Chain A
Amino acid sequence: MSDKKKVKISSGMAGRKKSGTVMIFVFLSVLGIFMFFPVYLTIVMSVKPVEELFVFPPKLYTLRPTLKNFSDMSEVIRQNRVPFSRYVFNSVAVTVSVTFLQSVIISMAAFVLAKCRFVGRKLINNIIVISLLYQSNVIYIMQYIVINKLNLTDSLYALILPSAASPMGTFLMKQSISQLPDSIIESAKMDGAGLFRICWQIVMPNQKPALMTLIIFAFQSSWNMQSGAFVFHEEYKTLPTVVNQISSAGMVRAGVSMAAAVVMLVPPVIVFTMVQGQIIETMAHSGIKD
């Protein structure tokens, strides 16, 4: 009994030594510095005044931060026929729609693919994995043909609908739900719950970490989505399309393209932090019980 209590206090994990935890922290910090250094450098370069960009030795900080790179960036974009806000609006519209559609459509499909028995289930699961593994530069052309046949080119639908049924998100959710004991679903069925209710009221609350991860993937892939060949008119193009034009044009200094990278990075970081907070909260409150 006293043993059990001790275990509970150490958050239920076995044999935790303090020295071990410190070593892990040190290891993670070293890896963390490698991971974060380039991001840090991007941020610093985005606020460096131009005369500091090419000095020897290159500096890791600046004492005279400036927002000139950001104002230059919006200056470059303003030369397009469409205001900056239009690109932001398009990107936000695409991002919100894709994230919402993916969470609803994929959650339901993944639940069925993981837990319902029907003919063709294994085949569909295999096709999903195959479509993830099949990387071909002709697919894009074929997608264009399909979108064109459906008269969807040159609209935001051309960007939203193809990403709404992401095989990657479905595969992730299906894998995660398959870990859930069948007994939960069986007992809910006994109680007379329909599949819709089981999916949304029993399975999904248990799948918060996976669902939140799906939301992060959906948000970030749609936020970074370029219009490519599916959209020709400037007023339907997304923010990454125009940001990419800036950095690939090569006429502007490094500072401006770093500023563009920072602009693209901020929203995913905010969403990621919010979603992480959600996961921590649910893990603290809900016990997943068989």
Chain B
Amino acid sequence: MDCYLMLMPFMVLFVTFTVIPVIMSVPVSFTNFNMVQTPEFVGLSNYTALFLSDRIFMKSIRITLIFAFFTGVVSFILCFVAAWLINSMPKKIAAFFTLIFYVPSMANVYSVWKVIFSGDINGYINSLLINTGIITAPIQWLTDGRYVLGTAIIVQLWLSLGAGFLAMRAGLQGIDRALYEVGAIEGIKNRWQELVYIVIPSMKPHLMFAAVMQIVSSFAAGTVIQNIVGFPSTDYQAHTVMTHAYDYGWVRYEMGYASAICMILFLVMYSVNRLVSHFLGKNTD
């Protein structure tokens, strides 16, 4: 009985402010909701339009997949390596590095990247490259179609040692010290064996949490990119699925169509999540 009592406050708030809005939003993708007129049921036409006639959507899928590889997969590994290596440092130094790596995620400080990548000779990257003689004319990092995706990936990568990284740190700190001692007695000789036999099995749930966070932040990226390389980006070169949804939802007010875009994205993220959860094994839910 206590179970339900302890769960109750959470469930009331969670259902009211998260579950109900989520459920209410699902049918929107089958309508032509535009925030002014009463929505009409249009069947699957949003979805067919997406796949049959929206070339930019197809392009945005490709860009999102490239983006998700770097800021999802690469960043997940980076988060783990950083968290694990930090853990072997003395405590004060470990706390210092954790702070340094996490600072970018604490507040919106990313707009400074616009100054760093600025296209005139005053940009930090351009002035460095000109001074060292690598280039002679400034490169338009934020507007040249060849570079915008790379620039966006670097900024998002910088932001990506976030929630997942911190959860991994907590997971590592929560491992019982005695486990390492037992391991040493049982014949574990080096860091690698320790990693495989003690560290990873002890923090599978934290790895699963970090995976979900990484999936969300990489597949649903858009806002930061739009702020850095502009909206729409040159030749749609940094146009992610979420940016496409923003375009239709908040610029053209075609909410039904935007919902369909988000629904497709959700199905992709959910499948990836099932896949990761399968690899990490049971006990991860």
Q: Which residues of A contact B (CB under 8 A)?
A: 3-4, 7-8, 11-16, 20-21, 24-25, 27-28, 31-32, 34-36, 38-39, 41-42, 45, 54-58, 105-106, 108-109, 111-113, 116, 118, 122, 124-139, 141-143, 145-147, 150, 161-162, 164-165, 167-168, 170-172, 175-176, 178-179, 194-196, 199, 207, 209-210, 212-213, 216-217, 220, 223-224, 240, 244, 247, 254, 257-258, 261, 264-265, 268-269, 272-273, 276-277, 279-280, 283-284, 287-290
User: What are 12 A-to-B residue pairs whose CB atoms are below 8 Å?
Assistant: A38-B109, A57-B128, A129-B273, A135-B220, A137-B255, A138-B25, A146-B17, A150-B16, A176-B205, A178-B205, A269-B103, A272-B99
Which residues of chain A are within 8 angstroms of B28 by Cβ–Cβ distance? 138
Q: Which residue of B lies closest to A46 (CB)?
A: B112
A-B contacts at CB below 8 angstroms, number = 323
Chain B 203-254 interface residues, beta-carbon cutoff 8 Å to A: 203, 205-206, 208-209, 212-213, 215-216, 220, 242, 245-246, 249-250
Other-chain residue from A20, A58, A146 in contact with B16 (beta carbon distance below 8 A) = A146
> From residue B171, how far is it (CB to closest CB) to chain A in Å?
7
Q: By the criterion CB–CB under 8 Å, are A220 and B106 in contact?
A: yes
**Contact stretch, chosen from B5-13, B49-57, B58-66, B67-75:** B5-13
Sample of 10 further A-B pairs with CB below 8 A, known A130-B22, A146-B17, A213-B166:
A3-B184, A12-B181, A13-B180, A58-B127, A138-B28, A142-B25, A170-B10, A212-B170, A258-B112, A269-B103
Q: Is B38 an interface residue (CB 8 A)?
A: no
Other-chain residue from B167, B178, B184, B269 in contact with A172 (beta carbon distance below 8 A) = B167
- Bound together, the chains give a CA A279 to CA B173 distance in angstroms of 8
Main secondary structure of the interface of A (DSSP, over half): helix
- Bound together, the chains give a CA A216 to CA B106 distance in angstroms of 9
- Bound together, the chains give a CA A143 to CA B20 distance in angstroms of 8
> From residue B102, how far is it (CB to closest CB) to chain A in Å?
7
Q: By the criterion CB–CB under 8 Å, are A32 and B100 in contact?
A: yes
- Bound together, the chains give a CA A220 to CA B107 distance in angstroms of 8
Which residues of chain A are within 8 angstroms of B131 by Cβ–Cβ distance? 57
Interface residue tally of chain B, by bracket? 35 or more
Q: By the criterion CB–CB under 8 Å, are A142 and B24 in contact?
A: yes
Q: By the criterion CB–CB under 8 Å, are B2 and A138 in contact?
A: no
Q: By the criterion CB–CB under 8 Å, are B24 and A168 in contact?
A: no
Q: By the criterion CB–CB under 8 Å, are A146 and B285 in contact?
A: no
> From residue A118, how far is it (CB to closest CB) to chain B in Å?
6
Q: Is B115 an interface residue (CB 8 A)?
A: yes
Q: By the criterion CB–CB under 8 Å, are B263 and A136 in contact?
A: yes
Contact of A131 with B89 at beta-carbon distance under 8 Å, contacts A108-B7, A195-B6, A196-B6 already known: no
Q: Which of B102, B103, B283 has the most CB of A within 10 A?
A: B103
Which residues of chain A are within 8 angstroms of B106 by Cβ–Cβ distance? 220, 265, 268-269, 272
> From residue A244, how far is it (CB to closest CB) to chain B in Å?
8
